[in-house]
Chain A
């Protein structure tokens, strides 16, 4: 039995749904403002204070002791490079095991998918904080957290791009009697190459940003210097570090963009 609803009534129902959704949103907003005691006046009156702080304490950047930043910048870069390399290798293996069209067994796929999505949904700074507890303050927990997070992130996006590949070439090789390994090598990998490179380069950009703030939780890199100078009220040093960070990130983005243009 199908109920015949005239277009007129359908439209009225649609309108009513819209109104209810709007009312709910407005209610949620009002409650939130009340709950956090958001004070617009305080915010606006804070702006001059902030500007004052920015121009008298923060700026100009302190260019003294430039060579003291060299080591942390290098650390940060190395974190990102090593992190990207290792997590792309590990992520690739996991991706093949968990992509629907290449998983050797459905059970493997489901188990890996569960683990990967759990790890990936814990923010990497939380991983870094936990690993600092285990390994102590220093560079290792930073690198490990990039690895853990990056591997799972890449496994997921690699697996998705493997699943999106067209199945026709795979079918042809299967029909000619090729083995699982041969199909992966000859049909999947060539088609997956563009996706692999673009996601890996993207991961590198994420890693550069991430490794810059790892220091905030004591996990090494240039972020450590930032936290230290903020803690010691050396604001002109802090602003110098931020300038270095911006230059570093822009340089890396420029570089990855060039690589992309070259190979894709």
Chain B
């Protein structure tokens, strides 16, 4: 198996002294579907954002496809990010643009800056985007404005956008935390199937343990900015779960809490 991502000694401290990550080590192999679980405030979101450098880590290294990402240059950061898709809790779509445009945004990272500004998407990309929308069950919403969709539909657009990047890795930050149980199941299935079929490794933040156990090939438990568990779903004992969620037990099963 090839290693997609190698995180070593990742530390993030925010101004004011809050230590969000206290030295995380994590390896992601090709095709893995890893669930990162832990209570809110454990540092899950910071971990994902340090990987694609939406947040600048304080210490530690992140190597993607064997290449350490230390360069501060904008073009190498851009190349790096274009190969990593991201799915967000709040979908993060451009609400006033069409569904199709939102999916095509996934190609921007590969286009010349100017071609991107003027939306010169190739015919191939447009066909691929439409095919992808069919695949995620949004064939009737292609030309609708993104804000006309329901939450579950919006998230499927978000998934389409991430897949459109033809990434090696997808980072999903609490993709179902704002959704009802039914939409959650559809969204998780969509992420899972697409990643499996295309051999995309996926790192998904979840706080629902059941969901994590259902999909993940491996589970990583984070508590207070440190990794406290890393193993197969079978190895995750009840005891360990209680340890991870100690003091925040009510969050383990939280569904659609609506923030």
Contacts and interface: CB of A to CB of B under 8 A. Distances in A.
Interface of A: 168-169, 171-179, 181-182, 185-187, 190-191, 193
Given A182-B116, A185-B117, A176 B81 contact: yes
Which 9 pairs across A and B sit closest by C-beta, in order of nearness? A177-B109, A177-B82, A172-B92, A177-B81, A178-B108, A168-B92, A182-B116, A175-B86, A190-B96
B108 A182 contact: yes
A191 B95 CA distance: 7
Contacts, number: 88
A184 to B, nearest CB: 8
A71 to B, nearest CB: 42
Given A169-B92, A187-B94, A181 B113 contact: yes
A44 B158 CA distance: 70
Contacts of A178: 78, 105, 108-109, 116
A173 B94 CA distance: 9
Contacts of B93: 169, 172
Contacts of B54: 171, 174-175
A185 B95 CA distance: 14
B97 interface: yes
Interface of B: 52, 54, 74, 77-86, 88, 90-97, 101, 105-106, 108-111, 113-114, 116-119, 158, 161-162, 165
A172 B88 contact: yes
A172 B108 contact: no
A174 B162 CA distance: 12
B20 to A, nearest CB: 17
A169 B94 contact: yes
A191 B102 CA distance: 13
14 contacts: A168-B91, A172-B93, A176-B82, A176-B105, A176-B161, A177-B79, A177-B109, A181-B114, A181-B116, A185-B117, A186-B97, A186-B116, A190-B94, A190-B97
Given A171-B54, A174-B54, A176-B165, A181 B78 contact: no
Contact of B108 (A168, A169, A171, A177): A177
A105 to B, nearest CB: 14
A155 B172 CA distance: 37
A168 B161 contact: no
